[in-house]
Amino acid sequence: MPENEVLKAIRERRSILRFEQKPVPEEQVQAILEAGRWAPSFANSQPWEFIVVREEGLLAELNSLVQRIAIAKRGKVAISKAGLGEAPLAIVIVVDPWKDPQHYVEAGTAAAQNMALAAHSLGLASYWAGVYSPRGGRGTPEARIKKLLGIPEEHRVIAVLPVGFPAYKDQSERKELAELVHYDRYGGKEGQR
Ligand SMILES: Cc1cc2nc3c(=O)[nH]c(=O)nc-3n(C[C@H](O)[C@H](O)[C@H](O)COP(=O)(O)O)c2cc1C
Protein backbone atom coordinates (compact mmCIF):
# COMPACT_ATOMS: atom_id res chain seq x y z
CA MET A 1 0.00 0.00 0.00
CA PRO A 2 1.31 3.52 -0.73
CA GLU A 3 2.50 5.49 2.29
CA ASN A 4 3.09 9.20 2.89
CA GLU A 5 2.80 11.79 5.67
CA VAL A 6 -0.88 12.55 5.04
CA LEU A 7 -1.89 8.90 5.11
CA LYS A 8 0.21 8.34 8.24
CA ALA A 9 -1.37 11.32 10.04
CA ILE A 10 -4.86 10.14 9.12
CA ARG A 11 -4.09 6.65 10.42
CA GLU A 12 -2.28 7.69 13.58
CA ARG A 13 -4.46 10.57 14.83
CA ARG A 14 -6.34 9.60 17.97
CA SER A 15 -8.73 11.33 20.31
CA ILE A 16 -6.72 12.26 23.36
CA LEU A 17 -8.66 13.10 26.50
CA ARG A 18 -5.91 14.42 28.77
CA PHE A 19 -3.25 17.00 28.04
CA GLU A 20 0.01 18.20 29.51
CA GLN A 21 -0.24 21.52 31.29
CA LYS A 22 2.01 23.21 28.78
CA PRO A 23 1.05 26.12 26.54
CA VAL A 24 0.71 25.60 22.81
CA PRO A 25 2.98 27.95 20.82
CA GLU A 26 0.99 30.58 18.95
CA GLU A 27 2.42 29.60 15.56
CA GLN A 28 1.08 26.09 16.06
CA VAL A 29 -2.36 27.45 16.91
CA GLN A 30 -2.27 29.50 13.72
CA ALA A 31 -1.23 26.45 11.68
CA ILE A 32 -4.22 24.52 13.05
CA LEU A 33 -6.62 27.36 12.24
CA GLU A 34 -5.12 27.60 8.77
CA ALA A 35 -5.86 23.90 8.22
CA GLY A 36 -9.50 24.59 9.12
CA ARG A 37 -9.64 27.49 6.67
CA TRP A 38 -8.61 25.21 3.80
CA ALA A 39 -11.42 22.70 4.30
CA PRO A 40 -13.82 22.15 1.40
CA SER A 41 -17.38 23.49 1.51
CA PHE A 42 -20.39 23.53 -0.83
CA ALA A 43 -19.73 26.08 -3.61
CA ASN A 44 -16.82 27.30 -1.45
CA SER A 45 -19.31 28.95 0.90
CA GLN A 46 -16.88 28.69 3.85
CA PRO A 47 -19.66 28.96 6.44
CA TRP A 48 -17.30 28.53 9.40
CA GLU A 49 -15.73 30.71 12.05
CA PHE A 50 -13.38 29.54 14.77
CA ILE A 51 -13.16 30.75 18.37
CA VAL A 52 -9.87 30.14 20.16
CA VAL A 53 -10.69 29.94 23.86
CA ARG A 54 -7.78 30.43 26.25
CA GLU A 55 -9.28 32.47 29.10
CA GLU A 56 -9.25 30.33 32.25
CA GLY A 57 -12.78 31.17 33.37
CA LEU A 58 -14.22 30.35 29.96
CA LEU A 59 -12.24 27.10 29.76
CA ALA A 60 -13.60 26.11 33.17
CA GLU A 61 -17.17 26.74 31.97
CA LEU A 62 -16.57 24.84 28.72
CA ASN A 63 -15.07 22.05 30.80
CA SER A 64 -18.42 21.55 32.48
CA LEU A 65 -20.32 21.50 29.18
CA VAL A 66 -18.42 18.81 27.27
CA GLN A 67 -18.16 15.11 27.98
CA ARG A 68 -15.25 12.78 27.43
CA ILE A 69 -15.94 9.39 25.90
CA ALA A 70 -13.37 6.74 26.67
CA ILE A 71 -13.67 3.51 24.77
CA ALA A 72 -11.77 0.67 26.37
CA LYS A 73 -10.89 -2.70 24.88
CA ARG A 74 -13.85 -4.86 23.80
CA GLY A 75 -15.87 -1.70 23.09
CA LYS A 76 -16.57 -0.79 26.73
CA VAL A 77 -17.66 2.86 26.79
CA ALA A 78 -17.15 5.23 29.71
CA ILE A 79 -18.47 8.78 29.55
CA SER A 80 -17.04 11.24 32.04
CA LYS A 81 -19.31 13.96 33.32
CA ALA A 82 -17.11 16.72 32.11
CA GLY A 83 -13.80 17.55 30.77
CA LEU A 84 -11.50 19.42 28.52
CA GLY A 85 -8.75 17.21 29.93
CA GLU A 86 -6.84 20.26 31.20
CA ALA A 87 -6.21 21.42 27.65
CA PRO A 88 -4.61 24.89 27.57
CA LEU A 89 -6.98 25.94 24.79
CA ALA A 90 -10.07 24.88 22.92
CA ILE A 91 -11.12 25.71 19.39
CA VAL A 92 -14.86 26.11 18.94
CA ILE A 93 -16.08 25.49 15.40
CA VAL A 94 -19.06 27.68 14.58
CA VAL A 95 -21.04 27.70 11.33
CA ASP A 96 -23.54 30.13 9.87
CA PRO A 97 -26.42 28.18 8.26
CA TRP A 98 -27.38 31.29 6.26
CA LYS A 99 -24.11 30.99 4.35
CA ASP A 100 -24.86 27.38 3.39
CA PRO A 101 -28.32 26.17 4.42
CA GLN A 102 -27.87 22.70 2.87
CA HIS A 103 -24.42 21.65 3.93
CA TYR A 104 -23.28 23.72 6.90
CA VAL A 105 -22.87 20.64 9.10
CA GLU A 106 -20.66 18.78 6.64
CA ALA A 107 -18.58 21.90 6.02
CA GLY A 108 -18.04 22.45 9.73
CA THR A 109 -17.09 18.83 10.26
CA ALA A 110 -14.59 18.95 7.39
CA ALA A 111 -12.96 21.99 9.01
CA ALA A 112 -12.92 20.27 12.41
CA GLN A 113 -11.29 17.13 11.03
CA ASN A 114 -8.69 19.18 9.13
CA MET A 115 -7.81 20.89 12.41
CA ALA A 116 -7.62 17.62 14.35
CA LEU A 117 -5.25 16.21 11.74
CA ALA A 118 -3.16 19.38 11.69
CA ALA A 119 -2.84 19.29 15.50
CA HIS A 120 -1.72 15.68 15.35
CA SER A 121 0.80 16.41 12.59
CA LEU A 122 2.40 19.06 14.85
CA GLY A 123 2.86 16.66 17.77
CA LEU A 124 -0.24 18.02 19.50
CA ALA A 125 -3.51 16.26 20.14
CA SER A 126 -7.21 16.98 20.38
CA TYR A 127 -10.50 15.27 20.73
CA TRP A 128 -13.79 16.11 19.17
CA ALA A 129 -16.32 17.16 21.78
CA GLY A 130 -19.58 16.68 19.93
CA VAL A 131 -21.84 19.46 21.10
CA TYR A 132 -23.94 20.02 17.97
CA SER A 133 -27.51 19.08 18.80
CA PRO A 134 -29.63 18.36 15.70
CA ARG A 135 -32.67 20.22 17.00
CA GLY A 136 -30.60 22.96 18.61
CA GLY A 137 -32.93 23.16 21.59
CA ARG A 138 -32.68 25.45 24.60
CA GLY A 139 -30.72 24.20 27.56
CA THR A 140 -28.52 21.91 25.44
CA PRO A 141 -24.75 22.13 25.85
CA GLU A 142 -24.68 23.75 22.39
CA ALA A 143 -27.10 26.49 23.47
CA ARG A 144 -25.14 27.04 26.69
CA ILE A 145 -21.85 27.31 24.80
CA LYS A 146 -23.43 29.87 22.45
CA LYS A 147 -24.54 31.94 25.43
CA LEU A 148 -21.18 31.61 27.18
CA LEU A 149 -19.18 32.77 24.16
CA GLY A 150 -21.64 35.31 22.78
CA ILE A 151 -22.22 33.37 19.56
CA PRO A 152 -25.09 34.83 17.47
CA GLU A 153 -28.40 33.02 17.90
CA GLU A 154 -28.70 31.82 14.29
CA HIS A 155 -25.20 30.31 14.25
CA ARG A 156 -24.55 26.68 15.16
CA VAL A 157 -21.72 25.07 17.11
CA ILE A 158 -20.40 22.00 15.33
CA ALA A 159 -17.69 20.91 17.75
CA VAL A 160 -15.29 21.91 20.47
CA LEU A 161 -11.71 20.75 19.98
CA PRO A 162 -9.60 20.88 23.13
CA VAL A 163 -5.99 21.17 21.92
CA GLY A 164 -2.74 20.52 23.75
CA PHE A 165 0.27 18.27 24.11
CA PRO A 166 -0.93 14.70 24.68
CA ALA A 167 -0.52 13.30 28.20
CA TYR A 168 -0.63 9.70 26.91
CA LYS A 169 -0.84 7.67 23.72
CA ASP A 170 -4.05 5.98 22.67
CA GLN A 171 -4.80 3.20 20.25
CA SER A 172 -8.39 2.92 19.16
CA GLU A 173 -9.11 0.33 16.51
CA ARG A 174 -11.22 0.30 13.37
CA LYS A 175 -13.39 -2.24 11.61
CA GLU A 176 -11.65 -4.05 8.75
CA LEU A 177 -12.13 -2.63 5.24
CA ALA A 178 -13.72 -5.90 4.19
CA GLU A 179 -16.63 -5.11 6.56
CA LEU A 180 -17.18 -1.64 5.05
CA VAL A 181 -16.54 -1.75 1.33
CA HIS A 182 -18.90 -2.90 -1.41
CA TYR A 183 -18.12 -3.06 -5.09
CA ASP A 184 -20.49 -1.68 -7.74
CA ARG A 185 -23.59 -2.40 -5.65
CA TYR A 186 -24.37 -2.73 -1.95
CA GLY A 187 -23.29 -6.23 -1.06
CA GLY A 188 -21.15 -6.58 -4.21
CA LYS A 189 -17.85 -8.40 -3.83
CA GLU A 190 -14.62 -7.50 -5.63
CA GLY A 191 -14.21 -9.40 -8.90
CA GLN A 192 -17.86 -10.56 -8.87
CA ARG A 193 -19.17 -9.13 -12.13
C1 LIG B 1 -19.21 13.70 15.67
C2 LIG B 1 -18.28 13.24 16.79
C3 LIG B 1 -18.62 13.52 18.09
C4 LIG B 1 -17.78 13.14 19.13
N5 LIG B 1 -18.09 13.50 20.40
C6 LIG B 1 -17.23 13.22 21.40
C7 LIG B 1 -17.49 13.69 22.70
O8 LIG B 1 -18.45 14.40 22.97
N9 LIG B 1 -16.59 13.37 23.67
C10 LIG B 1 -15.48 12.62 23.39
O11 LIG B 1 -14.73 12.34 24.31
N12 LIG B 1 -15.21 12.17 22.17
C13 LIG B 1 -16.05 12.45 21.17
N14 LIG B 1 -15.77 12.04 19.90
C15 LIG B 1 -14.54 11.25 19.66
C16 LIG B 1 -14.85 9.77 19.46
O17 LIG B 1 -15.21 9.15 20.68
C18 LIG B 1 -13.62 9.10 18.83
O19 LIG B 1 -13.34 9.74 17.61
C20 LIG B 1 -13.82 7.61 18.60
O21 LIG B 1 -13.93 6.92 19.81
C22 LIG B 1 -12.65 7.01 17.82
O23 LIG B 1 -11.45 7.21 18.52
P24 LIG B 1 -10.22 7.97 17.87
O25 LIG B 1 -10.69 9.37 17.51
O26 LIG B 1 -9.16 7.99 18.93
O27 LIG B 1 -9.80 7.21 16.67
C28 LIG B 1 -16.59 12.41 18.85
C29 LIG B 1 -16.25 12.15 17.51
C30 LIG B 1 -17.07 12.57 16.50
C31 LIG B 1 -16.65 12.34 15.06
CATH number at residue 123: 3.40.109.10
Is 192 contained in some domain? Answer: no
Judge contact between 36 and 112, C-beta under 8 A.
yes
Ligand 1 centroid from CA 108, angstroms: 15
| Ligand 1 near 15 CB (within 6 A) | yes
| Ligand 1 near 105 CB (within 6 A) | no
Mean pLDDT calculated for residue range 36-65 = 97
Is 138 contained in some domain? Answer: yes
Nearest atom in ligand 1 to the alpha carbon of residue 79 is 11
How many domains does the structure of the chain reveal?
A: 1
Domain containing 70 equals 25-168
Q: What span, in angstroms and rounded, lies between the C-alpha atoms of 108 and 157?
A: 9
Is 44 contained in some domain? Answer: yes
CA separation, residue 28 to residues 9, 40, 107, 144, 165 (Å)? 16, 21, 22, 28, 11
Ligand 1 centroid from CA 91, angstroms: 15
> What is the per-residue pLDDT across 144-169, written as a single tens digit (0 to 9) for each?
999 999 999 999 999 999 999 999 99
Is 4 contained in some domain? Answer: no
Is 38 contained in some domain? Answer: yes
Is 18 contained in some domain? Answer: no
Is 107 contained in some domain? Answer: yes
Is 175 contained in some domain? Answer: no
> What is the per-residue pLDDT across 78-127, written as a single tens digit (0 to 9) for each?
888 788 999 999 999 999 999 999 999 999 999 999 999 999 999 999 99
Ligand 1 centroid from CA 192, angstroms: 36
Mean pLDDT calculated for residue range 15-43 = 97
Ligand 1 centroid from CA 68, angstroms: 8
Judge contact between 4 and 11, C-beta under 8 A.
no
CA-proximal residue: ligand 1, atom 20 (nearest): 15
CA-proximal residue: ligand 1, atom 29 (nearest): 128
